[in-house]
Amino acid sequence: MRRGSRTPTLEALTPADMPLRFGRYRLTGILGSGGMARVFKAELEGSAGFRKAVALKVIHRSVLQADDKLVRALLNEARLGGLLHHQNIVETYDVGQVKGRHFIALEFVDGITLNRYLEQVGPPPLSACLELGAQMAQGLSAAHKARIEGRPAKLVHRDLKPSNVMLNREGIVKVLDFGIAKTLAAAGGRPRRAWSRARRCTCPPSRPRAAPWTRARTSSQPG
């Protein structure tokens, strides 16, 4: 961390400011930033030397001041995420506030988003597309089968796209960002707002040889 200067805001932090204490967490890097939040690589520290790597999503102060509905969206994302425990879904560990800054602590995935992989490597072969689709389907199926107070939640993601899919270095697909998910159970059997956008398949009919996604060059994390 830079010495002899005032600590900048979370939005203005650079790698030179790391590591930095944030409540029970130690910020060690910057993973990305979006319109709603900035995501840091961090460590949850406990007694007896306990440490756990996490991706810490901190909501922008300006967003919270502009619309309190987004705070509720944050809490909804954390609440839903806490219900989901599956190999193909990014785990949610914690939610809270530090000095008025809302955050969600998520599983840190050492890998790359699907959209970045497509940008760097291009479309994978058909066999890899089928494997990607199968793993995503398994995660979404687990979310649909989740239960709230003993009742099936029937979660529908509603924003599944390449930037919301992670690929780790072992080839495991992780679906993330259930922030706008709705439960069919709470909406009388159908989502409150119809999902009608269709996304074009990015997989070609065939491609002779393409690098496996585990060879992607960079690490990335949800923003």
- Please say whether the beta carbons of 88 and 138 come within 8 A: yes
Identify whether 68 is a catalytic site residue.
Answer: no
Q: How far apart are the C-alpha atoms of 191 and 25, rounded to whole Å?
A: 36
Q: Which of 17, 68, 94, 159 is catalytic?
A: 159
Rounded Cα gap, residues 93 and 202, in angstroms: 32
- Compute the C-alpha angle 161/159/120, nearest 5°: 15
Catalytic residues: 159
